[in-house]
Amino acid sequence: MREEKRSLRQQQIEAAAHEVLEAKGYGGTSMLSIAKAARASNETLYKWYGDKQGLFQALVTRNAEEVKNHLVSELETDHDAMSILETLGPKLLLLLTGDRAIALNRAAAADGSGELGQTLSRAGREAVLPLLEQVLERARAEGQLHFDRTEEAVGLYLDLLIGDQQIRRIIGQLPSPTPSACTERARRAVQYLRRIMGRSPL
């Protein structure tokens, strides 16, 4: 199968996997049910993804891909760190509170084995967090932010950006965010971060 056709077929399979996941939850989702929904052979799914865990890792990885690629490309430029955060924020907020991310998080919460939660952490948080740390360290090197521990600075930024948005989405108390709302929240997060960490401690 030519590469572009395979890529398109994988996107179709992964879209079907999201639909089955939302309808049946992680425990009720099988490779066979996804194959049927995608009108693909069970053998193809096992050949391409290995097993259900491999398929869901692909879902998480694809969901985080835009944010990861954005960070990688921005870190290769000489853009100042705070402007990187301003363009990153809306993408990161949509990544963590968008419909697909919420479906995956709900499934992870219902997965008694903890396997999906581990996959979410590896393919999502652990892939993006080191890049975000580099952005905050650039802000410190540029004199825009002042802090001792990088992980604490990253934690503060994420608290300001996300707050309780993700958990409220998971429990159904918040609608899917609009792009404009994400942009405004990201702008405020950077503004507050400057106020809190923008001055050198005495």
Q: What confidence score (pLDDT) does residue 64 get?
A: 83
Residue 40 has a pLDDT of 93
Give Cβ neighbours of residue 60 (< 8 Å, ≥ 6 apart).
Answer: 104, 119, 120, 123, 124
pLDDT digits (tens, 9 = 90+) for 108-162: 887 777 887 888 888 778 888 999 999 999 999 999 999 999 999 999 999 999 9
39: left (phi over 0), alpha (psi -120 to 50) or beta: left
Q: 1 in helix, strand or coil?
A: coil
Q: Among 157, 152, 148, 141, which Cα is nearest to 194's?
A: 157
Q: Delimit the CATH 1.10.10.60 region(s) of the chain.
A: 1-50
CATH 1.10.357.10 maps onto the chain at 52-197
The yes/no answer on whether domain 52-197 falls in CATH 1.10.357.10 is: yes
| Mean pLDDT value of segment 166-177 | 90
pLDDT tens digits, 103-115: 888 888 877 778 8
**Which residues make Cβ contacts (< 8 Å) with residue 25, sequence separation at least 6?**
106, 107, 110
Tell me which CATH homologous superfamily contains domain 1-50.
Answer: Homeodomain-like (1.10.10.60)
